[in-house]
C-alpha cells in the first residue's frame, strides 16, 4: 500500500471482507472488516491484530497523528501507541456512553467514585469500569478536544485531566440560511400544505429514547389544550410505531416526515416557530446549529452541549433533566410551559428572540469561527 498520504481516514466495521484501500481528492481511505463472532470473543487479541495491520499501512518514520472520534476505539489506539511510540493521539469527544445510563451527570459520578466497590450496584459497576477506561485513554492522549463546556468541566473536575491537555472547540456550519419575512413565511407554509395560522414546532433527529421524543409528544398534547393552532413536525427516522401510538387523538396536529433531503429540511426551518430538542445527551448538535442559523428559538435540555447553545430567555430555554426518570410529568410540564412562553410572545418579542438565536450562531457556530478555533488549538 502507498503510505505517503497526508490524510488517511480509517473506517472500522465497514462490512468489507478484507482490508481495502481507496483514494479521493488526495485523501486515502482504509476500510477494515467488522469483527467476527470469534474475534468478539477475543477482543483484546483482535485490537492488537488490527493495530499491527494498521502499522503496515503507515510510514513509521513520518509524524503520525491519530485523530480519534470514538472512545470505544481506545484499546486499538493504545496498542498502536505501544507499537509506534512516537505517534501522537488526539481524542475528540462526541459521546460519553455512561452519561445516558439513567441520565447520569457529573455529580452522580463524583458520588459513585466515593463509594467502595462492594457498595456499587450493577449499573454503577458498569459506569465505573467505563470511567476508568476513558480516564486512562484521556491521560495517555496528547490532546483531548471537547465540543461543549459541560464536557470540558467534566474532564477537569471529575476526570482530573490537566487543563493544558484539553481544548474546547464548537462545531461550525457554512451559513446557508435564507431568512423569510412574515409574509414570505405564510406563503411558504401554504406551499408546504400547512395552515397559515398554525405555529410550527419542529423536532429533527432520530426517533429513539435518548432523543426524548416521547416527552416532546406528550408535552405537545398538553400544549394543544392551551394553544390549539399549533402543529408538531417530527423529522427523522427510527421506531415510528412507538411514537405514532403516542399521537392517538392528535394525529391531525402531528406530521412525521421521515428522513428528508437537506433542501426540504431547510424549507421547514424557514417556517418553524420553535425548535425543540429534548435530548438526554448532546455534545454540539448540528441540528441546533442549523436551527439557530435560521433564527429559530430553541428549547433544549440542560444536558451537555445544548445548555451551551441556549441563552436562557434570550434565544430559548434549557430544561433540567436531573429528575426526568423519577418525575417525567414534571419534565413534560416544563417542556410545555417553555413552548407556551415563546409562542405567546408578541410579534416584536418573537422577532427579537429569533434574531438573538441567529446572533448566537454567527458568534460561535459558523464554519469560519470553527476554522479559526482549529488554528488556535496548538494541536500538539
What confidence tens digit (pLDDT) does each residue in 188-223 have? 999 999 999 999 999 999 999 889 999 999 999 999
Q: What's the distance, CA 357 to chain centroid?
A: 19
Last residue within a domain, chosen from 144, 168, 192: 168
CATH code assigned at 41: 3.40.50.2000
Q: Which domain holds residue 215?
A: 182-365
What confidence tens digit (pLDDT) does each residue in 251-298 have? 999 999 999 999 999 999 999 999 999 998 888 899 999 999 999 999
CA–CA dist 302, 272 (Å, integer):
22
Strand partners, 276: 299
| Whole-number pLDDT of residue 120 | 80
Based on the fold, state whether residues 188 and 163 are members of the same structural domain.
no
Question: CA torsion angle for 262, 263, 265, 267 (degrees, to 10)?
Answer: 160
For residue 264, what are the CA distances in angstroms to 93, 261, 323? 30, 5, 36
Last residue within a domain, chosen from 111, 146, 168: 168
| Whole-number pLDDT of residue 379 | 57
Q: Does 333 or 112 have the greater pLDDT score?
A: 333
Provide the percentage of residues in the chain whose pLDDT is more than 70: 93
Based on the fold, state whether residues 316 and 280 are members of the same structural domain.
yes
Based on the fold, state whether residues 220 and 303 are members of the same structural domain.
yes
Q: Which of 56, 59, 53 is nearest to 12 (CA)?
A: 53
Provide the percentage of residues in the chain whose pLDDT is more than 90: 58
Based on the fold, state whether residues 304 and 279 are members of the same structural domain.
yes
Q: Please, what's the b/e burial string for 273-306 (b: 16 or more CB within 10 A of its CB; e: otherwise)? A: bbbbbbbbbbbbbebbbbbbbbbbbbbbbbbbbb
Based on the fold, state whether residues 161 and 197 are members of the same structural domain.
no
| Whole-number pLDDT of residue 1 | 45
Average pLDDT, the chain: 89
Instruction: Please count the other Cβ atoms lying within 10 Å of the Cβ belonging to residue 207.
Output: 21
Based on the fold, state whether residues 329 and 206 are members of the same structural domain.
yes
CA–CA dist 86, 93 (Å, integer):
23
Contacting residues for 352 by C-beta, under 8 A, at least 6 apart: none
Amino acid at each position: 500500500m502507498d503510505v505517503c498520504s497526508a490524510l488517511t481516514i480509517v473506517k472500522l466495521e465497514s462490512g468489507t471482507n478484507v482490508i481495502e484501500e481507496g483514494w479521493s481528492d488526495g485523501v486515502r481511505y482504509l476500510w477494515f472488516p467488522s469483527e467476527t463472532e470469534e474475534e468478539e470473543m477475543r477482543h483484546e487479541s483482535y485490537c492488537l491484530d488490527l493495530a499491527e495491520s494498521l502499522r503496515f499501512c503507515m510510514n513509521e518514520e513520518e509524524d503520525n497523528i491519530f485523530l480519534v472520534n470514538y472512545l470505544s476505539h481506545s484499546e486499538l489506539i493504545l496498542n498502536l501507541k505501544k507499537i509506534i511510540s512516537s505517534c501522537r493521539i488526539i481524542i475528540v469527544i462526541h459521546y460519553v456512553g455512561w452519561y445516558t445510563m439513567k441520565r447520569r451527570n457529573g455529580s452522580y459520578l463524583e458520588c459513585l467514585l466515593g463509594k467502595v466497590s462492594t457498595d456499587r450496584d450493577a449499573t454503577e459497576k458498569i459506569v465505573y469500569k467505563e470511567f476508568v477506561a476513558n480516564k486512562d485513554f484521556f491521560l495517555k492522549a496528547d490532546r483531548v478536544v471537547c465540543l461543549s463546556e459541560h464536557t470540558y468541566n467534566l474532564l477537569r473536575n471529575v476526570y482530573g485531566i490537566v487543563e493544558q491537555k484539553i481544548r474546547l472547540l464548537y462545531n461550525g456550519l457554512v451559513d446557508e440560511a435564507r431568512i423569510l419575512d412574515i409574509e414570505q413565511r405564510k406563503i411558504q407554509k401554504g406551499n408546504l400544505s400547512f395552515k397559515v395560522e398554525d405555529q410550527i414546532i419542529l423536532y429533527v433527529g432520530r426517533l429513539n429514547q435518548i432523543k426524548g421524543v416521547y416527552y416532546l409528544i406528550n408535552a405537545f398534547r398538553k400544549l394543544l389544550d392551551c394553544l390549539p393552532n399549533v402543529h408538531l413536525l417530527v423529522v427523522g427516522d427510527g421506531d415510528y410505531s412507538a411514537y405514532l401510538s403516542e399521537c392517538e387523538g392528535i394525529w391531525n396536529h402531528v406530521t412525521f416526515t421521515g428522513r428528508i433531503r437537506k433542501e426540504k429540511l431547510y424549507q421547514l426551518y424557514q417556517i418553524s416557530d420553535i425548535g425543540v430538542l429534548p435530548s438526554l445527551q448532546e455534545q454540539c448538535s448540528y441540528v441546533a446549529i442549523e436551527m439557530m442559523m435560521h433564527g429559530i428559538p430553541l428549547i433544549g435540555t440542560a444536558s451537555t452541549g445544548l445548555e451551551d447553545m441556549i441563552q436562557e430567555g434570550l434565544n430559548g430555554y434549557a430544561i433540567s433533566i436531573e429528575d426526568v426518570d423519577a418525575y417525567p410529568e414534571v419534565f413534560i410540564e416544563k417542556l410545555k410551559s417553555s413552548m407556551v412562553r415563546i409562542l405567546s410572545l408578541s410579534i416584536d418579542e418573537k422577532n427579537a428572540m429569533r434574531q438573538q438565536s441567529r446572533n448566537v450562531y454567527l458568534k460561535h457556530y459558523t464554519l469560519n469561527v470553527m476554522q479559526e478555533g482549529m488554528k488556535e488549538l496548538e494541536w500538539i
